[in-house]
């Protein structure tokens, strides 16, 4: 089973590019972030024509996440627990049916910039909520994939120019500590487990020639429960998509499980 994550930076604005990649890569499951549309405006029919079942948790103009699967989606959850007063569409989770079901979540973690504001506090509080929910999911002892745009650079090796990020919320000690705390629950970073080579970036900013200078960072991750990690066959970063016409600033990251 091929499970992909991709921050598409507006699914309707980049629909032709997104569909081109789907037709080429043929993921069994895809987790999209920053779809930037309400549920009714998501191009569901275009993905259904490619054979996907679709679940959306959208928001007008901002955020928004989606799950697409070639097999039916069950037990769909939109939003993290403890979400009173939080209207950001950043989390959707479902069980992907099949010979061996797997629970998958599409995550768009808050950016958190600028640091000395409530935005950074919101980021850390959101990560605490995710940690508590992940604990509950791990207690189910089933294959689980938490994947998406985590907006965290885990280590200096995950940036081409680490010094450029020392004042950014993505690289703060608190952000990195919260990401480590997630892994310490018993989750495996799929990329580090299957490959681990430095330079595996998934994001290049549109500004200052970041793509041309390879000024990239690894912020799109897949965290696996022990039951999913045992099934891990490999990972791939579809770097070439960043050079396509009208690209997102992120590229697809794919995990392959022996399912």
**Around Cβ 58, how many Cβ atoms within 10 Å?**
21
Is 220 annotated as a binding-site member? no
* pTM of the entire predicted model: 0.97
Question: Residue 133 belongs to what H/E stretch?
Answer: helix 118-138
pLDDT string in tens for the chain (259-residue length): 999 999 999 999 999 999 999 999 999 999 999 999 999 999 999 999 999 999 999 999 999 999 999 999 999 999 999 989 899 999 999 999 998 999 999 999 999 999 999 999 999 999 999 999 999 999 999 999 999 999 999 999 999 999 999 999 999 999 999 999 999 999 999 999 999 999 999 999 999 899 999 999 999 999 999 999 999 999 999 999 999 999 999 999 999 999 9
Cα 245 to chain centroid, rounded: 22
SS3 (DSSP) at 233 = strand
CA distances from 162 to 116, 205, 216, 238, 250 (A): 20, 14, 10, 22, 18
Identified catalytic residue from 52, 91, 108, 191: 108
> For the chain, how many structural domains are there in total?
1
Say whether 149 is catalytic.
yes
Say whether 250 is catalytic.
yes
Q: Which domain holds residue 24?
A: 2-257
Which domain CATH number covers 36? 3.60.10.10
Q: What is the 3-state secondary structure (H, E, C) of 49-101?
A: CCCCEEEEECCCCCCCEEEEECCCEEEEEECCCCCCCCCCCCEEEEEECCCCC
């Amino acid at each position: 089973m091929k499970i992909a994550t991709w921050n598409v930076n507006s699914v309707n604005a980049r629909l032709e590019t997104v569909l081109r990649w789907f037709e080429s890569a043929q993921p069994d499951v895809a987790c999209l972030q920053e779809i930037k549309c309400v549920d009714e405006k998501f191009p569901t029919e275009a993905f259904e024509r490619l054979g996907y079942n679709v679940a959306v948790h959208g928001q007008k103009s901002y955020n928004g996440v989606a799950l697409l699967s070639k097999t039916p989606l069950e037990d769909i959850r939109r939003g993290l627990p403890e979400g009173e007063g939080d209207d950001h569409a950043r989390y959707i989770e479902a069980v992907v049916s099949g010979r061996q079901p797997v629970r998958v979540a599409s995550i768009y973690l808050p950016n958190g910039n600028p640091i000395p504001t409530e935005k950074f506090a919101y980021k850390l509080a959101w990560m605490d909520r995710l940690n508590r929910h992940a604990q509950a999911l791990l207690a189910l002892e089933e294959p689980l994939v938490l994947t998406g745009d985590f907006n965290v650079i885990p280590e200096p090796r995950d940036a081409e120019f680490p010094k450029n990020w020392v004042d950014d919320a993505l690289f703060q000690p608190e952000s990195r500590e919260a990401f480590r705390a997630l892994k310490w629950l018993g989750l495996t970073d799929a990329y580090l487990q299957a490959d681990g080579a430095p330079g595996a970036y998934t994001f290049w900013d549109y500004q200052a020639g970041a793509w041309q200078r390879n000024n990239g960072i690894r912020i799109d991750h897949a965290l696996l429960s022990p039951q999913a990690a045992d099934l891990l066959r490999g990972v791939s970063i579809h770097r070439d998509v960043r050079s396509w016409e009208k690209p997102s600033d992120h590229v697809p990251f794919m995990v392959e499980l022996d399912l």
